[in-house]
Structure 1
């Protein structure tokens, strides 16, 4: 049995990727039949002003669909978008630096 060293950030990313995969598999059937959100509903869901959503859609910064002139959003795509924008804490960055320094000193 071997021991594998992994940084907390890498472990978190592996767990997040696994969770996204499982959630995608389990919610695939429900997301295909889910009602798309309007701009008002998406703004409420995300807790942001409509103007912010319009800016994000025009810059293609957020997943959305256009049905004619109407913007629509799928909740599972919004959830994935939120997860992908997670910012690391100062503690996570410091832990990565310590792990990196240890690895470099062993070379």
Structure 2
């Protein structure tokens, strides 16, 4: 999967994906100048809690933004 595809799959922005690669050791593979992802590796990483913002000063605001995105258009 590409950065765009994995961001859509997880419901986050591309910037979040790049941040997770740099700061949270998200499983990613560099192919030339592109990042590629295996969905099973990312799923395992997420289930292990590695994407969690616990202890992050922005976690409440980020959670609220994700909730807004998730509920848009569902009414």
Specify the alignment match of 2:33 in structure 1.
69
Stretches of structure 2 lacking an aligned partner (at least 5 in a row): 53-75
What TM-score does the superposition give when structure 2 sets the normalisation length?
A: 0.61
Q: What's the secondary structure of 1:41's corresponding residue? A: helix
What TM-score does the superposition give when structure 1 sets the normalisation length?
A: 0.44
Describe the superposition over 1:62-102 as per-residue Cα deviations: whole angstroms up to 9, x where unpaired: 10000011000000001101110088xxxxxxxxxxxxxxx
What's the CA shift for 1:60? Answer: 4.9
2:20 aligned with 1:56: yes
Q: 1:66 to 1:60 in 2, by over 3 A?
A: farther
Larger proportion of helix: 1
Larger Rg: 1
Stretches of structure 1 lacking an aligned partner (at least 5 in a row): 1-36, 88-107
Specify the alignment match of 2:73 in structure 1.
none
What's the CA shift for 1:61? Answer: 2.2
